[in-house]
Amino acid sequence: MPSPSDSFDFASWPPTLSNGQLEALTLYATTYALSHGLLYLAPAQRQPTIPSAAIHAPISLFPSPVPRALFDNGRRLQRIYNVLYARIAMDDEFLDEVMGAEKGVGKVDKFIGELWRGWKRLRDEGLPQPLHLGLFRSDYLLHSLPDKPLSIKQVEFNTISVSFGCLSQKVAELHRYLLSQTKYYYSSPYLSPSNFPSNETTPGLASGLAEAHKAYGDERSQILFVVQPGERNVFDQRPLEYELLERYGIHSIRNTFEELGNIAHVDPSTSALIITRSLDGSPSERIEISTVYYRSGYVPHEYPTPKHYTTRFLIESSKAIKCPTISLQLAGGKKVQEVLGRPGVLERFLADEAKYGKDVYGPEVISELRDSFMDMWSLDVNEDRVTPDRPSSESGNEEFGTRLAREGALGLVLKPQREGGGNNVYKESIPTFLDTLDPEERQAWIAMELIQPPKDFGNYLIRAGSTNSQSQTPVKTEVVSELGIFGWALFGGPEKSISEKEVGWLVRTKGKDSNEGGVATGFSVLDSLLLVD
């Protein structure tokens, strides 16, 4: 058995346990999860108003190893990403160029175009609230290439409805409990308390919401959670409400877009967002909203009618602080991620002394940030974007970017401007998919080189929700683990100041043969970190 001081061998994970030990660990893990709110509502065609059943969230039995230095690197980068995306969201000219419906992605992506046009109209009329709140998560995979040091590479940066902050804290606590209870049967010297980092994501994210509420300046106001109808992932959201109430005395309410279309209005004299509701026939209650926290609104099907867009724009037109504003949601687009990789773009936002004064970053920091990128390009990119390590291909009728995607399909993923999992196109599916896109539609897609995670790395995965007695049996499989780092930023105003923090982490683990990675969409399980050297 290797000592903890040796370079970690990912192929040695997870440690070997007997069937009896696995059974005992599974019982400890699942009962802990059920006892401590590591839960999902049970699958149902329609969730009842008052929940009648819950199941434990999908979980891993062991934490997943990540080198300590790379974890520290991700945490350090988060502070820079917080600033970067805040500055992008405040740069109307850049977003018009990249995401707009006149010049950018919004020309061919109807959803992006609708959001941009509504935002453009509102800002031309004058937005009453200059502050933005972002609750962020930057997602990474370990990148392992022969004869090169292990590194972390960014999968994406999330600016709306970042999920699993609360449940990620609970699963970290679950794995620490298993260590305390069983010592994991002394199966690995790496499984020691010093290698289990703390995770305080729930109070961390709540502190961002509380800062926005404080900045709004009315103690009687409340925070509005805009949620999906039939939401199963309520146990990842409710702890934030409890934290806000218990630590800060801030009340919250929850409503869907559908409900808000009937009960929300903006006071014409103050621009306050007002929710009017009545419970059980009691007199109407008038609630002023300080902060709007979106846990929905990031995919087109959540806007099935024009009224849903009207409701979104109504909220945007108020003086409530939005998390996120439409501009910050647009800043999280995959197209922005691709453009940031182009020469000089990071410097525009991080190194312009004339614009940002002393709050700039040096070449070493920008290089470190750029090192976290994988190579990306637009499908409609032309030959003038050819670089020395990306030679020109044969001439043809398709743009260079599309031809390059055909030639390198087995090492690529295509991404649209969507969140939530299940939207990407991978490897051998790419050439056939490209045949379905007309030249204009290609503008809405980017190609990204695939990250290469360590091979032969495994874990035991546990799912619930099936009547099959085998559903609680841990499945040992080769996996890929994705690390997410959370942060928040409150920014804007006349000085365009930025207050920001890094506030915790998430690990999601999936079978290696699964391309997608969402927990809510059924591809992954919740996991936690084991720091190794």
- Residues serving a catalytic function are 137, 156, 158, 163, 334, 415, 419-420, 508
417 marked among binding-site residues: yes
450 marked among binding-site residues: yes
517 marked among binding-site residues: no
232 marked among binding-site residues: yes
Residue with token string 């590194």: 151
472 marked among binding-site residues: no
d(CA 304, CA 257): 10
d(CA 175, CA 181): 10
199 marked among binding-site residues: no
510 marked among binding-site residues: yes
Angle between helices 201-216 and 238-248 (to 10 degrees): 60
231 marked among binding-site residues: yes
Prior bond of 324 cis (ω within 30°): yes
d(CA 159, CA 27): 37
What is the number of other CB atoms lying within 10 angstroms of the CB of residue 139?
20
d(CA 306, CA 114): 10
| Burial of 194 from C-beta contacts in 10 A (0-12 / 13-18 / 19+) | exposed
376 marked among binding-site residues: no
d(CA 471, CA 383): 52
317 marked among binding-site residues: no
123 marked among binding-site residues: no
460 marked among binding-site residues: no
Tell me the CA end-to-end span of the chain in Å, nearest whole number: 15
155 marked among binding-site residues: no
In sequence order, which residues have a C-beta less than 8 Å from that of residue 251 and are 6 or more positions away? 222, 223, 244, 245
156 marked among binding-site residues: yes
180 marked among binding-site residues: no
496 marked among binding-site residues: no
d(CA 324, CA 205): 14
508 marked among binding-site residues: yes
Closest CA to 525 of 163, 60, 173: 60
174 marked among binding-site residues: no
162 marked among binding-site residues: yes
259 marked among binding-site residues: no
158 marked among binding-site residues: yes
368 marked among binding-site residues: no
233 marked among binding-site residues: yes
**3 state SS of 322:** strand
Residue with token string 């040091």: 149
Sign of the C-alpha dihedral, residues 48, 303, 160, 152?
positive
Residue with token string 């409990």: 177
Q: Which two tokens stand for residue 501?
A: 């923090």
Question: Phi-psi region for residue 184, left (φ > 0), alpha (ψ -120 to 50) or beta?
Answer: left
Q: Which two tokens stand for residue 411?
A: 């090492």
Closest CA to 518 of 32, 150, 137: 137
Task: Show binding-site residues.
Answer: 137, 156, 158, 160-163, 231-233, 237, 295-298, 334, 415-424, 426, 448-451, 482, 508, 510, 516, 519-520
Task: Show binding-site residues for ATP.
Answer: 156, 334, 415-424, 426, 448-451, 482, 510, 516
Task: Show binding-site residues for substrate.
Answer: 137, 160-163, 231-233, 237, 295-298, 508, 519-520
Task: Show binding-site residues for Mg(2+).
Answer: 156, 158, 419
